[in-house]
Structure 1
Amino acid sequence: MRVTSVLMTALLVGGAALASQAQTTLGDDTLHAPAPALPGPNADPHIAAFGDTYYLYPTTDGIEGWGAKSFSAWSSKDLKTWKNEGVILDLPRDLTWANRNAWAPAMATKNGKYYFYYTAAQCVGVAVADSPTGPFKDPIGKPLVAKDVYRGQAIDPMVFVDDDGSAYLYWGQGQCHVVKLNADMTSYDPATVVEFKPEGYNEGPFVLKRQGKYYLMWSEYDTRDPRYSVAYAISSSPMGPWVKAGGPPVLHGRGPVKGAGHHSVVQVPGTDQWFIAYHRFIIPGGDGFNRETCVSPMRFDAAGNILPVNVFEKVKATKIRKTAAKRRS
């Protein structure tokens, strides 16, 4: 009877350990959030894949008044180990029109050039380089979108390049805007700017295309609010109109994860595998001025709806296949 009891106890303990291990593997350990992708305070991350390498371009966080003055790039071959590539744009050094509030960057590539879109002094700027890690130079010597020209704040730029090479600039806090860029990627016709505001929209627009559908994603609430989260809408055109998806947010906090938002998305080249980069309050003790950058898997259902992201699921090492990297280079 004692032997049976011991065996039973061992089985129960072993079973509990296996269950706990499986739970952690599946990302359901809601008491222990995965470590951030990048060390230290970093927010508003833009994630991209060029060649066989992933890149992250964040806002340097943890500075009073969100007062960062430069941008850095990070690179990875597998989405897990990230290398700091250093400063790629320094506002006081590289710009003549702004020297503060370096926020919310984005990256796009076209015709062998890399175009870095960013916020500086509540304006949208653009810089260009021959490499995803720079050095970047200001090609126009002024804001691409100046402050107070359009409704809402001129912050949070994102550029989507469609399959036909057409590029579209999105931006705005409090109000969203979109305009088709000229072939030079650094100018546009102001008369063609479209203003719109999906229900719940606050900031951080991001556009992706999958199976012929355009997805506009954005952040709701305020970045200082623990409820900060990501919603989306769908259109048949990069200019809209957009129909907001029902259901729960694509991304939101849970348990120790708070303020999950201001995201970007990357497709693993040559696959239908997707990852979302975003920030959350630093764990422990973070807030809307002290945030950290995370990466999580993102999936679609059979109907093309974006499934809610599990912020507790750990990222597995995911390399870009050589054939896919060659097609993109």
Structure 2
Amino acid sequence: MKKLIALLYLCASVAGITNAQTTDTLHAPSPVLPGVYADPNIAVFNSRFYIYPTTDGTTGWKSTSFTCWSSANLIDWKNEGVILDLPRDLTWAKERAWAPTIAFKNNKYYYYYSADVNIGVAVADKPTGPFTDPIGKPLIPKGTRRGQMIDPMAFVDDDGQAYLYFGQGQCNIAKLSADMVSLDTSKIVSFKPEGYNEGPFMIKRKGIYYLMWSEYDTRDPRYSIAYATSTSPMGPFKKAVGFPVLKGKGVVKGAGHHSVVQVPGTDNWYIAYHRFKIPDGNGYNRETCISPLHFDANGDILPVDVFEKIKPVKIKLKR
């Protein structure tokens, strides 16, 4: 009997340790990029993953250039250097280089970004640049719509039509012209989903369009991500109820302003986002992280576990 009691006690102790490990909110996975970077746009081209972030670390977000990072496995990231320097490469903006996005079309890479609260576009032959300004002015100037003209997200649908989602304060959707460097601002669709603040992002899965965005302010520890769905890239969108897609927990604060990537040839998805730097971070000192993104059988996005570690991912190209 004593041996049985001891065995039961041991099993209970092991179970307790296991439960403690799965609910440990004091030891978050390390960021994927060294230093402070925010607003990561993750993408995949050919056999590599890329992250295009905001350079963080200055009060008021005064960064002046953009970098690119690449990886073959989502774990090990190489700094590809500065791909766009505002004072050097632009004539119309010098600072506040924020929240870029990228799209591939016409055998070119089109890079959309915020600069001095305008949205610009740059073009390159490679995903690592160098990128050049093809129009010499903002693509979407400040004041085009209510709120700030920031946080662009480029989405190319299966039919080849490209869209730009952007805006702080309200969400805006614009159809990009075939040349990818122009659009008709008079046809921009503007709306404000419940809770919307900034950072829109679009994905398409099994015929459903998922519009995701950040809620609260990026300096607020409650910063988080919600989403809505539609059968059209232009909406109307129905907000999902229940838990946010992503929010902080424990030592993880201010988790938001994300992007999502699908591993080619699979239904495996990953979400890149920033959180307050651990330790002692805030809304001006944020770090970039990646977590798995899961869907349930109904196609709903399950809440992201910000403590779930990612494993190396190898892209298998079709021959």
Give yes or no for contact 2:121–2:138 (8 Å, CA) kept in 1: yes
Q: Does 1:186 pair with 2:191? A: no
- 1:105 partner amino acid: P
Question: Is 1:265–2:260 an aligned residue pair?
Answer: yes
Judged with a 3 Å threshold, the aligned counterparts in structure 2 of structure 1 residues 74 and 22 are, in CA distance, closer, same or farther, namely: farther
1:305 to 287, 300, 306: 300
What pairs up with 1:44-83 in 2 under 5 angstroms?
Answer: 44-83=39-78
Q: Secondary structure at the match of 2:306?
A: coil
Q: Distance in 1 between matches of 2:259 and 2:274?
A: 10
Q: 1:197 to 1:286 in 2, by over 3 A?
A: same
Contact residue 144 and residue 185 of structure 2 kept, 8 A: no
Match of 1:255 in 2: 250
Q: Which amino acid aligns with 2:87?
A: P
1:147 aligns with 2:136: no
Alignment of 1:176 with 2:168, yes or no, is no
Counterpart CA distance in 1 for 2:130 and 2:230 is 36
From 195, 198, 202, give the equivalent of 2:193.
198
Aligned in 2, Cα 1:94/1:28: closer, same or farther, shift over 3 Å?
same
Q: Residue type matched to 1:64 in 2?
A: T
Q: Is 2:223 the partner of 1:231?
A: no
Q: 1:130 aligns with which of 125, 141, 159?
A: 125
Paired amino acid for 2:126:
S
3-state SS of paired residue (2:88):
helix
Q: Is the 8 A contact 1:28 1:313 kept in 2?
A: no
Partner Cα distance (1:287, 1:232) in 2: 24
SS of 1:66's equivalent in the other structure is coil
Q: Does residue 291 of structure 1 match 2:286?
A: yes
Change (3 A) 1:146 1:317: same
SS at match of 1:125: strand
Q: CA deviation at 1:64?
A: 2.5
CA deviations over 1:39-81 (Å, ceiling 9, x no partner): 1110000000100100001100011210000000000111111
Which stretch of structure 1 is more off in the superposition, 56-65 or 258-267? 56-65
- In the TM superposition, what whole-angstrom CA distance separates every residue of 1:103-159 from its partner, at most 9, and x where no partner exists? 001011112110111000000000000100000000010001001121110000001
Check whether the contact 1:234–1:242 (CA below 8 A) recurs between aligned residues: yes
Contact 1:144 1:187 in 2 (8 A): yes
Which residue of structure 2 aligns with residue 315 of structure 1? 310
Secondary structure at the aligned position of 2:102 is classed as: strand
In structure 2, distance between residues paired with 1:71 and 1:20 = 44
Out of 204, 207, 231, the position equivalent to 1:209 is 204
Q: Aligned partners of 1:120, 1:168: CA distance in 2, in Å?
A: 19
Distance 1:215 1:196 in 2: 15
Distance in structure 2 (CA, Å) of the matches to 1:227 and 1:103: 21
Aligned pair partner of 1:241 in 223, 229, 236: 236
Q: Which amino acid aligns with 1:313?
A: E
Measured in 2, the distance between the counterparts of 1:317 and 1:75 equals: 14
Q: Is the 8 A contact 1:37 1:294 kept in 2?
A: yes
Distance, in Å, in 2 between the alignment partners of 1:138 and 1:155 is: 17
Residue 218 of structure 1 and its aligned partner are, at CA, apart by: 0.1
The whole-number CA distance in structure 2 between the counterparts of 1:165 and 1:228 is: 33
In structure 2, distance between residues paired with 1:45 and 1:174? 20
Partner SS, residue 153 of structure 1:
coil
- How far residue 18 of structure 1 moved from its aligned partner, in angstroms, is 8.1
What is the distance in 2 between the residues matched to 1:114 and 1:267? Answer: 18
Could you list the structure 1 runs, at least 4 aligned residues long, displaced by more than 3 angstroms after superposition.
Answer: 14-24
Cross-structure match for 2:160: 165
The one-letter code sitting in structure 2 at the alignment partner of 1:43 is A
Percent identical among aligned pairs is 65
| CA apart distance, 1:15 | 7.8
Hey, what's the Cα distance between the residues in 2 that align with 1:222 and 1:64? 15
Change beyond 3 A, Cα 1:97–1:305:
same
SS in 1 for 2:60: helix
1:143 & 1:49 partners in 2: Cα distance? Answer: 26
Mark the runs of 5 or more structure 1 residues left unpaired by the alignment.
Answer: none
1:36-47 equivalent positions in 2, closer than 5 A:
36-47=31-42
**Alpha-carbon offset, residue 189 of structure 1:** 1.2
Query: What is the one-letter code of the residue matched to 1:94?
Result: D
User: How many angstroms apart in 2 are the aligned matches of 1:203 and 1:239?
Assistant: 17
